[in-house]
């Protein structure tokens, strides 16, 4: 299938926010104002989908409302990019109801992470559209310490040239949405190299437990020649991550995977470098794969923007690790 690479964003463009998972009603006034200012500074005009404030017992809305807003956003020629409000638990409900011809005929930036992993990878599998595992609309509502996230947002979504990832100097794992000023920055020790190697391949993945929901369906992308980017939130304890990774290893094309990059774990997951190394070493299928962890993506901040379906080159060694997105 031919890849579809959406046009980049430019100052003056209009973007649309949709609630493919949870509702905008969850986002407070302060965060909304900060997010608007962030988009203003980028030169982007925010618009919101018709049903975005709807909410039900699952802090979401009907499949019909969510699919309608998705289709409308892709069909609106004034909209140059689509951002999801936030993650959640149910975006995979939409996949059977999406008109894939609408997506295919109107390629544009689609960006979100966490539960949106199901949509990111399904879009690529069904249409060849490169989508982006990156900040939600809600992510832009952070008052402090968003600079690193914004830097790689611009490099991936507002520029055409290849870009390299430099590890952040600090990171955070606090509930900033509860108290914008109660932030704790943690020194970043850099990448954690588990197994060395060099390779180039297609970036696939995102939130591991959500990605695994696509297994055995028409929405699971081909992972042959893939560089898997995987991460999970605080609920992914070491034993949960272990079995989720094992499930991915059981996929028919896994023997053709080229590398694994693992996003930083949240503190409450209780994952350690030693435990992660043990998990990797128990799996013979991973023996010859380059594997690097503690990469700036996932449920901690900052988070880089990853082109799902794009081409990435990675050099992993104890001395230096280089991650470069070539096609995005």
Instruction: Identify any residues that bridge with 199 across adjacent strands, giving them in sequence order.
Output: 314
CATH number of the domain within which 141 lies: 3.40.50.10740
DSSP 8-state code for residue 109:
E
| Residues 313, 170 share a domain | yes
| Residues 175, 133 share a domain | no
Phi-psi region of 302 (alpha: psi -120 to 50; beta: other; left: phi over 0): beta
Per-residue pLDDT, 292: 98
Q: Dig out the tokens for 302 from the structure.
A: 């900052």
| Residues 158, 58 share a domain | yes
- Tell me whether residue 2 is in a domain: no
Per-residue pLDDT, 284: 96
- Low-confidence stretches of the chain (pLDDT < 70) are none
Q: Dig out the tokens for 56 from the structure.
A: 């039900």
| Residues 168, 258 share a domain | yes
| Residues 139, 184 share a domain | no
Please give the torsion angle defined by the CA atoms of residues 99, 103, 109 and 111, in that order, rounded to the nearest 10 degrees.
20
- What residues make up the domain containing 62? 14-162
- Tell me whether residue 8 is in a domain: no
> Could you read off the pLDDT of 248-276 as tens digits, one per residue?
999 999 999 999 999 999 999 999 999 99
DSSP 8-state code for residue 10:
-
Query: How many CB atoms are closer than 10 A to CB 7?
Result: 12
Q: Dig out the tokens for 325 from the structure.
A: 């997105």
| Residues 183, 139 share a domain | no
Number of compact structural domains in the chain: 2
- Tell me whether residue 6 is in a domain: no
CATH number of the domain within which 251 lies: 3.50.30.60
H/E stretch holding 277: helix 273-281
**Alpha-carbon Rg for the chain in angstroms:** 18
Q: What are phi and psi of 194, to 5 degrees?
A: -100, -45
| Residues 201, 65 share a domain | no
What are the residues whose beta carbons fall under 8 Å from the beta carbon of 307, sequence distance 6 or more? 130, 131, 132, 156, 203, 325, 327, 328
- Tell me whether residue 91 is in a domain: yes
| Residues 245, 202 share a domain | yes
Catalytic site positions: 114, 231, 299
Contact 92, 220 (CB under 8 A): no
- Tell me whether residue 312 is in a domain: yes
Secondary structure tally for the chain: helices H, strands E:
8, 16
Taking alpha carbons only, the member of 47, 220, 138, 71 closest to residue 63 is: 71
- Tell me whether residue 5 is in a domain: no
Per-residue pLDDT, 1: 82
> Could you read off the pLDDT of 192-213 as tens digits, one per residue?
999 999 999 999 999 999 999 9
| Residues 206, 87 share a domain | no
- Tell me whether residue 253 is in a domain: yes
| Residues 248, 127 share a domain | no
């Amino acid at each position: 299938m031919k890849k579809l690479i959406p046009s980049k964003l430019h100052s003056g463009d209009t973007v649309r926010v949709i609630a493919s998972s949870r509702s905008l009603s969850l986002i407070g006034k302060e965060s909304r104002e900060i997010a608007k200012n962030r988009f203003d500074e980028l030169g982007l005009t925010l618009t919101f989908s018709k049903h975005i404030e709807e909410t039900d017992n699952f802090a979401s809305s009907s499949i019909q409302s969510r699919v309608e807003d998705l289709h409308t956003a892709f069909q609106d020629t004034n909209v140059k990019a689509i951002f999801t409000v936030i993650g959640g638990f149910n975006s995979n409900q939409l996949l059977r109801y999406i008109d894939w011809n609408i997506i295919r005929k109107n390629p544009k930036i689609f960006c979100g992470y966490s539960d949106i992993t199901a949509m990111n990878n399904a879009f690529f599998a069904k249409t060849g559209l490169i989508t982006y595992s990156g900040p939600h609309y809600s992510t832009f509502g952070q008052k402090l310490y968003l600079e690193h996230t914004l830097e790689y947002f611009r490099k991936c979504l507002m520029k055409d040239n290849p870009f390299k990832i430099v590890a952040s100097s600090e990171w955070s794992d606090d509930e900033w949405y509860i108290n914008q000023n109660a932030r704790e920055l943690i020194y970043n020790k850099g990448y954690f190299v588990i197994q060395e190697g060099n390779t180039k391949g297609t970036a696939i993945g995102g939130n591991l437990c959500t990605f695994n929901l696509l297994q055995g369906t028409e929405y699971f992308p081909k992972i042959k020649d893939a560089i898997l980017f995987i991460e999970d939130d605080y609920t992914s304890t070491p034993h949960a991550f272990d079995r989720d990774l094992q499930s991915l290893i059981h996929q028919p094309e896994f023997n053709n995977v080229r590398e694994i990059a693992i996003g930083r774990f949240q503190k409450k997951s209780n994952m350690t470098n030693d435990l992660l190394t043990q998990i990797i070493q128990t799996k013979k299928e991973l023996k010859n794969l380059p594997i690097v962890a503690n990469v700036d993506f996932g449920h901690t901040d900052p988070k880089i923007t990853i082109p799902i379906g794009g081409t990435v080159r990675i050099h992993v060694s104890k001395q230096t690790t280089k991650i470069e997105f070539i096609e995005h």
